């Protein structure tokens, strides 16, 4: 494949916006697909806010900010991805949504050598590949939140992914985007979430059993294990819906009880208490809140 210059990002939530920024600052032509035309302003707003914050902190110049913004455009139609060389899907962690996206990308992306990547946290890459006529070009590219800060990308090849695809994706992620890669097999949770999610679920169960308060559990893990964040603060940052989705994926694959979502987590997701992105999760993040009070 020729040098990758034209990148597509499907989705402009927290992860999609971060991916768009990283790619734009790397000098790439970035096209971001949003769910509907009314979301274009919101998507661009996320990008502007993030870049302006870095400008204020002296992490980039005004010229660099303007150049990055000029490289990003938006669309509400995946049909506009025809000329893309590398597409990264960063939509909701929902099976039917992802399958539909990959089936559509397979039809519209003209270059048969274009790589189709997914930022999924846990969904099997082989299933995404099988809805396309190019399963050898489908790979997992799992970035971490915040994308603009965390250096890791889990690179996941399925049993159908060609080695040349994985190698090209690794070169792109490391040499162009400046990230670090770990390769992992196509197993639910990959490496990081296979280890992290059971820990987060265990913390919820410890709280549910009345051993300690959420604040004290977070404090214990930060001060006793030198973690930068406690499990409840981290769950809120990840998004409780994402934690639940990964938990369910792990449980489907391994059928081990410690992977199943605790009742409290399921109830909070049902109530729309998803963490920082919704303004309230285990803690309250609304502007009117004088302290991060527990939400449950």
For the ranges 32-36, 175-179, 196-200, the lowest mean pLDDT is seen at: 32-36
- Give 223's pLDDT tier (boundaries 50, 70, 90): very high
Domains of the chain, CATH where assigned: 6-185 (3.40.50.720), 192-278 (1.10.1040.10)
For the four alpha carbons of 197, 252, 184 and 115, in that order, the dihedral sign comes to: negative
Active site residues per annotation: 121, 142, 154, 193
DSSP string of 40-58, one letter each residue: HHHHHHHHHHHHHHHHHTT
Tell me how far apart the alpha carbons of residues 283 and 289 are, in angstroms, rounded to a whole number: 10
Q: Average pLDDT of 97-118?
A: 97
- Does the pLDDT at position 126 exceed 60? yes
Q: Average pLDDT of 157-168?
A: 97
- pTM for the model: 0.90
What pLDDT score was predicted for residue 296?
A: 46
- Does the pLDDT at position 110 exceed 60? yes
For the ranges 35-49, 98-112, 161-175, 188-202, the lowest mean pLDDT is seen at: 35-49
- Does the pLDDT at position 294 exceed 60? no
Report H helices in the chain: 14-25, 40-56, 62-70, 95-108, 125-130, 163-171, 192-208, 214-225, 231-238, 240-254, 263-270
Mean pLDDT of the chain: 94
Q: CA 156: distance to chain centroid?
A: 14
- Give 289's pLDDT tier (boundaries 50, 70, 90): low
């Amino acid at each position: 494949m020729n040098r990758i210059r034209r990148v597509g990002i499907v989705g402009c939530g927290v992860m999609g916006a971060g991916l768009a920024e990283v790619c734009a600052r790397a000098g790439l032509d970035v096209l971001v697909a949003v769910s509907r035309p009314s979301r274009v302003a919101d998507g661009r707003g996320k990008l502007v806010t993030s870049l302006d914050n870095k400008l204020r902190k002296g992490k980039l110049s005004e010229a660099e900010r303007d150049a990055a913004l000029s490289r990003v455009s938006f669309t509400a139609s995946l049909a506009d991805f025809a000329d893309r060389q590398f597409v990264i899907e960063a939509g909701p962690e929902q099976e039917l949504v992802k399958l539909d996206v990959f089936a559509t990308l397979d039809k519209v992306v003209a270059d048969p050598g274009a790589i189709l990547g997914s930022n999924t946290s846990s969904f099997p890459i082989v299933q995404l590949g099988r809805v396309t006529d190019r399963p050898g070009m489908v790979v997992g590219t799992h970035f971490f939140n915040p994308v603009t800060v965390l250096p890791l990308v889990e690179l996941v090849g399925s049993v159908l992914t060609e080695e040349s695809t994985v190698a090209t994706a690794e070169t792109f992620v490391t040499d162009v985007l400046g990230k670090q890669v770990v390769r992992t097999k196509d197993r639910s949770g990959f490496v990081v979430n296979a280890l992290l999610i059971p820990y987060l679920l265990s913390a919820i169960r410890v709280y549910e059993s009345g051993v300690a308060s959420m604040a004290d559990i977070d404090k214990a893990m930060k001060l006793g294990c030198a973690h930068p964040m406690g499990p409840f603060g981290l769950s809120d940052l990840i998004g409780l819906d994402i934690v639940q989705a990964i938990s369910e994926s792990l449980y489907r694959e391994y059928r081990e009880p410690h992977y199943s979502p605790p009742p409290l987590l399921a109830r909070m997701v049902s109530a729309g208490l998803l963490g920082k992105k919704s303004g309230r999760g285990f803690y309250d993040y609304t502007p009117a809140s004088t302290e991060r009070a527990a939400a449950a």
